[in-house]
Amino acid sequence: MLRLTLLLLAITATRARMNVLFLVSDDMRPELTIFEGKDFPSPVHPPIHSPNLDALARKSLLLKRAHVQQAVCAPSRSSLLTGRRPDTTHVYDLQAYWRDVGGNFTTIPQYFKEHGYRTIGSGKIFHPGTASGYNDPISWTDPYFHVGKEADNFVYKEKVTWLSVPMDLLKNNSLADTQNADYAVNMIRQAAPQARSGERPFFIAQGFFKPHLPFVAPQMFFDMYPESSISLPPNLYAPDKMPVIAWSNYSELRSGYVDLEKFHISGDINTTLPNDVILNLRRGYYSALSYTDYELGRLIQEVENQGLANNTIISFWGDHGWQLGEHGEWCKHTNFELATHAPMMVHVPGLTDKGIVTEELTEFVDLFPTLVEAAGLPPINLCPENSTNVLVCTEGTSLIPLITNPASPNWKKAVFSQYPRNEYNGDQMGYSITTDHYRYTEWVKFNLQPEYKPDWTQVFGVELYDHYGDPQENKNLAYDSAYSAVVAQLSKQLHAGWRAALPK
């Protein structure tokens, strides 16, 4: 009898295990209605059409002030997916694989796999290619599915920066994100029976390429944004007294996607693109964002169709922000708020159904311990100072306490991002700390292997932005003597690092 009771208990426990739908977008800044308010520094935009993300946010813990650890694909994704910061993964570029250069760190899907989940991935979760050992096969129970961006070539013959795809062209062909979403929808159907019976829960991850350049989307999404609805950014010039090293010359946009030579655009500070190009880029970006929202909605709907809505955690994040002409700056590759602030939300059935908004500062490394706690898997310990040989640990903090107390007095009071310059030989690093009031950055000498440490005594530039009075970061106050005490205090906090900022 006792054995039967234990067995029943075990079955019940198995049935209670939640699935995970893990949704990722590429280069999507948090310019959604649900993020509006004082947090988004560029409110000049048309109404954004993102009904599916809006609906997900209304039943999620919405992290309104989540910051990435480094504002470019592979470093940000490697950091989030291993729960460790770039100075631990040692991934600062688009080539290095953390298992080669940092340590054999367990990833989020791998951890769920090791606890009996069926783990299925498609599209862009890890940065593809060498940066993930080709989609990190050890993370998945099923072969990774990946239709690449080249699948979109049927809609354009030469490189484009933005393109509205006529609907007729899509009758017999699909864009890459649609194809990857089709696969994920099908896998939800396939995995559902075992998930429903409690035999085997799933962790299904789907990464979208959009709204990353080129801004290619079906015409119906461009139609949502009439040209007359698009505005120029409110601040077309670099911050006053910005050190040169803070600037990125947006070579990604200039070299890869549009012939800017005729405009004589150098990417230099305070040289802007022609207004019509800026407006087209902004319109294309919003259209690609809405296309992503549409595809992502199909996956959420399928979870509901399969009767699994009450038993499936859904997380969503974009891998970093994007500069859409503000400061005359484009793409990511900086430590500005627009580059490090990114969207994140987590739906946990039974816990977040009414929608919880937190304005506390959070970080992308926080997601790993959050999903683990939400799913009831064995919790993950804080990493020791040197975690090279520790397979599973976290440099983040579970966000679950913010569900019951979204304005927690016992939460971290600062978050950290970084960005290298001369990133392929790692000469300098910009370390940035964001508090409720300020963003403060020091650009310093950085020693690559074996140290992977900054030399705080060799400084190439300092920035201080007052987010209360200047949320768009238009005035660098670091060299203003009136702020010398603030600079001294934040410098001390920056050097003390993320561990010192953890709640006591």
The per-residue DSSP string of 142-200 comes to S--B---GGGGGGG-SS--SEEEEPGGGGSS---HHHHHHHHHHHHHHHHHHHHHHTS-
CA pseudo-torsion sign 383, 389, 390, 395: positive
Cα Rg of the chain, angstroms:
22
- Closest distance between Ca ion and the C-beta of residue 365, in Å? 17
Number of residues that bind Ca ion (CB under 5 A): 4
Residue with Cβ nearer Ca ion (48 or 73): 73
- Closest distance between Ca ion and the C-beta of residue 323, in Å? 13
Q: Which of helix, strand or coil describes residue 361?
A: strand
From the list 265-273, 314-322, 378-386, 413-421, the region that binds Ca ion by CB under 5 A is 314-322
- Closest distance between Ca ion and the C-beta of residue 209, in Å? 9
Residue with Cβ nearer Ca ion (295 or 442): 295
Helix 367-375 to helix 73-82 angle (10° resolution) is 40
- Closest distance between Ca ion and the C-beta of residue 504, in Å? 34
Residue with Cβ nearer Ca ion (320 or 467): 320
Phi, psi at residue 55, to the nearest 5°? -65, -40
- Closest distance between Ca ion and the C-beta of residue 255, in Å? 17
- Which residue is closest to Ca ion by CB? 73
* Residues 370, 373, 379, 382, Cα dihedral to 10°: 20
Which of 24, 26, 79, 281 touches Ca ion by CB under 5 A?
Answer: 26
CA distances from 331 to 84, 247, 308, 404 (A): 24, 11, 37, 36
- Closest distance between Ca ion and the C-beta of residue 201, in Å? 29
From the list 25-33, 154-162, 198-206, 226-234, the region that binds Ca ion by CB under 5 A is 25-33
Residue with Cβ nearer Ca ion (103 or 211): 211
Q: Which of helix, strand or coil describes residue 358?
A: strand
Phi, psi at residue 116, to the nearest 5°? 90, 5
Which of 73, 383, 393, 429 touches Ca ion by CB under 5 A?
Answer: 73
Residue with Cβ nearer Ca ion (331 or 478): 331
Q: Compute the distance between CA of residue 139 and CA of residue 364 in angstroms, rounded to an integer.
A: 19
Helix 176-197 to helix 275-305 angle (10° resolution) is 20
- Closest distance between Ca ion and the C-beta of residue 128, in Å? 11
Q: Does 68 bind Ca ion (CB under 5 A)?
A: no
Residue with Cβ nearer Ca ion (27 or 363): 27
Which residues participate in catalysis according to the annotation? 73, 127
Q: Compute the distance between CA of residue 145 and CA of residue 437 in angstroms, rounded to an integer.
A: 43
- Closest distance between Ca ion and the C-beta of residue 75, in Å? 10
DSSP secondary structure letter of residue 345 = E
Q: Compute the distance between CA of residue 142 and CA of residue 187 in angstroms, rounded to an integer.
A: 10
From the list 65-73, 354-362, 405-413, 442-450, the region that binds Ca ion by CB under 5 A is 65-73
Residue with Cβ nearer Ca ion (326 or 360): 326
Which of 24, 27, 184, 252 touches Ca ion by CB under 5 A?
Answer: 27
Contact by Cβ (8 Å): 368, 380: yes
Q: Does 319 bind Ca ion (CB under 5 A)?
A: yes
Bridging pattern class, strands 344-347 and 202-211: unpaired
- Closest distance between Ca ion and the C-beta of residue 265, in Å? 22
Phi-psi region of 129 (alpha: psi -120 to 50; beta: other; left: phi over 0): left
Helix/strand/coil percentages in the chain, nearest 5: 35, 20, 40
Residue with Cβ nearer Ca ion (206 or 358): 206
> Could you tell me which of 137, 113, 91 has the C-alpha nearest to residue 22?
113
Bridging pattern class, strands 19-26 and 202-211: parallel
Peptide bond into 143 cis (omega under 30): no
Q: Does 337 bind Ca ion (CB under 5 A)?
A: no
Residue with Cβ nearer Ca ion (125 or 477): 125
Give the binding site for Ca ion (CB under 5 A): 26-27, 73, 319
